[in-house]
Amino acid sequence: MPQNITDTSTFTDPIVIPADADPADLTYIETLAQGLANRTRFLRDYCTDQGVQLPAATQHIRYIGAQAAQPGMETDGAPRWRARLLGAPPDNFDGAWRSNASFAELFLDLTPRLVRGGTLIRVRALVRPGATLAARGGAGNGVQAAVFGVSFGASFAAPAITTTHVGTTDEDDGTTNLQWLQVDLAPSGVAVSTYATWYLRLYAGVDGDTNRDFFYGAMVEVASPTIRND
């Protein structure tokens, strides 16, 4: 009499078949069919009506070197940050940027490090202020970080550029120590697909032209099922 196989969501490995003089009896047929049925159920459980279902998103970290950033420019064309490619830290460091103007802006495009199906959780910038907040006149005059999202309009027929500040902002802790500035996209992050592009904007201190601030790199935390730590 025919009988049904009760499959389980297990990727059975290996699939066993008769070899040499083994009898191809019911036991082998059941073993073969059971393994294939289990694999079929396992793969089916990863599918939806729209296709393959990706594993649950997990949080990953992407590191970005400082030289991926672009400095703002003075009206005379001079860069507001200068690259420091030679020397020993902390005053010089391979690949770092050194501020060259008061409240100098530095822009870091985050978009290539993100995945459209992911969620941006937070962004950190590694900096070393050139002076204490007290010496600079208090809060609002130190090294500051913020994240922005840019939209290009609802359709190709009607382009429009909109820039939106997203998440918190952060300012240095008042010391001249090497430190992370942290921008949180609270409470649980923002979908990367919310904006066409993303960037980090870093400001030097009020006297960044004389008391030089340094930017060494950034760290991006994103939740996604499709990228790995690298």
| pLDDT of res. 229 | 47
DSSP 168-225: EEEE--SSSS-EEEEEE-TTT-EEGGGSSEEEEEEE--TTTTTS--EEEEEEEEEEES
| pLDDT of res. 177 | 95
| pLDDT of res. 85 | 56
| pLDDT of res. 76 | 64
3-state DSSP call for residue 31?
helix
Tell me whether residue 148 is exposed, middle or buried, using C-beta atoms within 10 angstroms of its C-beta: 0 to 12, 13 to 18, 19 or more.
middle
Q: What is the pTM of this model?
A: 0.71
Q: Which of 113, 196, 212, 210 is nearest to 159 (CA)?
A: 196
- Tell me how far apart the alpha carbons of residues 157 and 161 are, in angstroms, rounded to a whole number: 13
- Taking 70 as the pLDDT cut, the residues of the chain under it are 1, 22, 24, 26, 45-57, 75-77, 84-94, 225-230
| pLDDT of res. 60 | 81
| pLDDT of res. 78 | 74
> Cα-flanking dihedrals φ and ψ of residue 52, to 5°?
-70, 135
